[in-house]
């Protein structure tokens, strides 16, 4: 049942040779008084285990090939209050570890596990509290040095190995990402249907949430952005409390998390369901830029190519709209376009919405490979300014989809959320 996780553990152990790797899940976070934020496991930990309880540590021993989970014990009294916990015996069965032990044995067993291993891998410097615990276990091995115990002499950052592994999604991850995309698109459709002048941004935030949770996606991949009118020109707007005005555009950037995997979709549409001429002009430019970028996503293409294609289309559009003067190459060269388009084309997506993986490898742009997933999200944000045609003031438009690189191009797996002018208007008319 949990074969993909066991397979990932095997692959990581192949990378660490006869070393030992240690990973802890995320700490719990207090929200206020005795309330906690909903617990979210560490993404690397989740990738290797599928185990989403708090307070857990994974030990992988490359010498024996054995995986050990340390987790909370069963506790019938506490479980009456807080609900089910696996406990080591059930966790071993359900998640396919070689063994599982009580978390209370960690301090006793770890020095033993580290003794005689040449290289220790852990997410170095990512969590000060866990770093201190690792130092403590290492100290214990060193203290026993004279009685023949050998402490590891080399250290590696296991997070860097995992970052690279996670760039190419395996089949089970692709299935989860597609589902995150499907549910996220359903949220956008529900919000489009519910939008009307006089309503509030947060009412559409509620529509998104309703669609997500109804589908079993209880967490957001990130805070929803529901930005009408001028708010759409604030890139990370999250107040979501303005009234929707007739004649304004609305930008919604929202995605759910499905079994740990993120969806990330942006749609922009008129509050009243009908694009004005100016809104349509800007919209068609952003859409053409997005389609040009998507067409550039294929195996072997450099990470920069979709962004370059989108930027050319956007720059031409800025000239056509009278936002800038000069030539396409000129406004790209000078960076003049940044007044209206100030972010990148997108990011990898997976267990984290802004997923791991370097964009450059050995100083060169990473090449797309089948199994990579990324967002494509160009935009234009036109704030009032001298020289900017007034008809375009406060139009902020972004169109964002999530794509999976295939053998000959890419699959846009968030395409269910409509994005042509005709399709959006038809949906908003109730068709």
**What are the DSSP calls for 6-66, one per residue?**
HHHHHHHHHHHTT-EEEEE-PPP-EEETTEEPPP---HHHHHHH----SS-EEEEETTTTE
Cβ burial of 170 (10 Å; 0-12, 13-18, 19+) is middle
For residue 290, the minimal CB distance to ligand GLY (Å) is: 13
Residue 337 near which of Mn ion, ligand GLY, none (CB within 5-8 Å, type-dependent): none
Q: Which residue among 61, 201, 257, 264 is the active-site one?
A: 264
Give one word for 77, left, alpha or beta, with left for phi > 0 and alpha for psi -120 to 50: alpha
Residue 290 near which of Mn ion, ligand GLY, none (CB within 5-8 Å, type-dependent): none
- The answer to whether residues 66 and 52 touch, using CB atoms and an 8 Å cutoff, is no
Closer CB to Mn ion, residue 355 or residue 400? 400
Q: Which residue among 261, 368, 381, 413 is the active-site one?
A: 381
Binding mask 75-104 for ligand GLY (x = CB under 6 A): ------------------------------
Instruction: Let me know if 34 is a catalytic residue.
Output: yes
Q: What are phi and psi of 233, to 5 degrees?
A: -90, 0
Record the tokens describing residue 212, joined without a space.
């997500």
Which among 341, 311, 343 has a CA at the least distance from the CA of 329? 311
Closer CB to ligand GLY, residue 60 or residue 177? 177
Distance CA(134)–CA(123), nearest Å, equals 10
Instruction: Let me know if 381 is a catalytic residue.
Output: yes
Instruction: Let me know if 347 is a catalytic residue.
Output: yes
Q: What are phi and psi of 179, to 5 degrees?
A: -70, -40
Instruction: Let me know if 425 is a catalytic residue.
Output: no
For residue 421, the minimal CB distance to ligand GLY (Å) is: 22
Residue 222 near which of ligand GLY, Mn ion, none (CB within 5-8 Å, type-dependent): ligand GLY
Instruction: Let me know if 398 is a catalytic residue.
Output: yes
Closer CB to ligand GLY, residue 95 or residue 269? 269
Which one among 201, 248, 377, 401 touches ligand GLY, defined by CB under 6 A?
377
For residue 235, the minimal CB distance to ligand GLY (Å) is: 9
Instruction: Let me know if 343 is a catalytic residue.
Output: yes
Q: Which residue among 40, 280, 354, 383 is the active-site one?
A: 354
The answer to the question of residue 205 lying near ligand GLY (CB under 6 A) is no
Instruction: Let me know if 377 is a catalytic residue.
Output: yes
Binding mask 342-361 for ligand GLY (x = CB under 6 A): -----x-----x--------
Q: State CA 266 to chain mean position distance.
A: 14
Which among 255, 228, 258 has a CA at the least distance from the CA of 347? 255
Biggest alpha carbon distance in the chain?
A: 82
Q: Which residue among 9, 166, 178, 398 is the active-site one?
A: 398
How many chain residues touch ligand GLY (CB under 6 A)? 7
For residue 15, the minimal CB distance to ligand GLY (Å) is: 29
Helices 171-194 & 421-428 angle (0-180, nearest 10):
60
- Sites of contact with Mn ion (CB under 5 A): 253, 264, 375, 400
Which one among 179, 205, 207, 264 touches ligand GLY, defined by CB under 6 A?
264
Which one among 222, 275, 283, 368 touches ligand GLY, defined by CB under 6 A?
222
Helix, coil or strand: residue 370: coil
Measured in Å, how far apart are the chain's first and last C-alpha atoms? Answer: 42
CA atoms within 13 A on the CB side of 55: 14
Record the tokens describing residue 10, joined without a space.
């095997």
Which one among 253, 257, 401, 402 touches ligand GLY, defined by CB under 6 A?
253
- The answer to whether residues 228 and 244 touch, using CB atoms and an 8 Å cutoff, is yes
Closer CB to Mn ion, residue 205 or residue 400? 400
Task: Name the site residues for ligand GLY (rule: CB under 6 A).
Answer: 222, 253, 264, 347, 353, 377, 400
Active site residues: 34, 236, 253, 264, 343, 347, 354, 377, 381, 398, 400
């Amino acid at each position: 049942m949990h074969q993909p996780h066991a397979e990932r553990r095997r692959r990581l152990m192949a990378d660490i040779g006869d070393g030992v790797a240690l990973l802890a899940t995320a700490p719990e976070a207090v929200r206020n008084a005795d309330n906690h934020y909903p617990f979210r496991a560490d993404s690397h930990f989740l990738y290797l285990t599928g185990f989403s309880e708090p307070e857990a540590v994974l030990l992988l021993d490359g010498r024996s090939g054995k995986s050990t989970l340390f987790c909370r014990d069963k506790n019938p009294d506490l479980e009456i209050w807080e609900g089910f916990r696996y406990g080591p015996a059930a966790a071993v069965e359900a998640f396919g570890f070689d063994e599982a032990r009580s978390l209370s044995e960690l301090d006793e067993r770890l020095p033993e596990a580290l003794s005689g291993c040449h290289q220790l891998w852990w997410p170095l410097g990512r969590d000060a509290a866990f770093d201190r615990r690792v130092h403590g276990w290492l100290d214990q091995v060193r203290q026993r040095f004279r009685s023949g115990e050998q402490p590891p002499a080399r250290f590696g950052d296991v997070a860097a190995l995992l970052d690279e592994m996670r760039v190419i999604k395996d089949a089970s991850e692709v299935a989860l990402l597609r589902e995150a995309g499907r549910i996220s698109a359903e949220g956008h459709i529900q919000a489009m249907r519910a939008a009307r002048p006089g309503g509030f941004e947060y009412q559409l935030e509620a529509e998104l949430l309703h669609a997500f949770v109804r589908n079993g996606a209880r967490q957001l991949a990130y805070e929803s952005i529901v930005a009408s009118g001028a708010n759409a020109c604030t890139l990370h707007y999250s107040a979501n409390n303005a009234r929707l005005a007739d004649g304004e555009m609305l930008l919604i950037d929202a995605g759910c998390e499905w079994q740990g995997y993120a969806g990330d979709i942006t749609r922009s549409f008129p509050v009243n369901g009908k694009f004005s001429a100016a809104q349509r002009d800007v919209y068609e430019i952003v859409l053409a830029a997005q389609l040009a970028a998507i067409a550039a996503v294929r195996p072997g293409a450099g990470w920069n190519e979709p962004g370059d294609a989108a930027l050319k289309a956007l720059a031409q559009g800025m000239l056509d709209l009278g936002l800038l003067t000069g030539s396409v190459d000129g406004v790209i060269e000078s960076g003049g376009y940044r007044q209206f388009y100030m972010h990148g084309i997108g990011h990898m997506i997976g267990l984290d919405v802004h997923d791991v993986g370097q964009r450059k490898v050995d100083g060169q742009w990473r090449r797309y490979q089948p199994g990579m997933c990324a967002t494509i999200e160009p935009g234009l944000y036109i704030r009032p300014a001298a020289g900017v045609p007034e008809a375009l003031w406060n139009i902020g438009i972004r169109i964002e989809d999530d794509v999976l690189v295939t053998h000959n191009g890419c699959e846009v797996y968030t395409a269910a959320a409509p994005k042509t002018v005709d399709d959006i208007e038809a949906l908003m008319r109730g068709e």
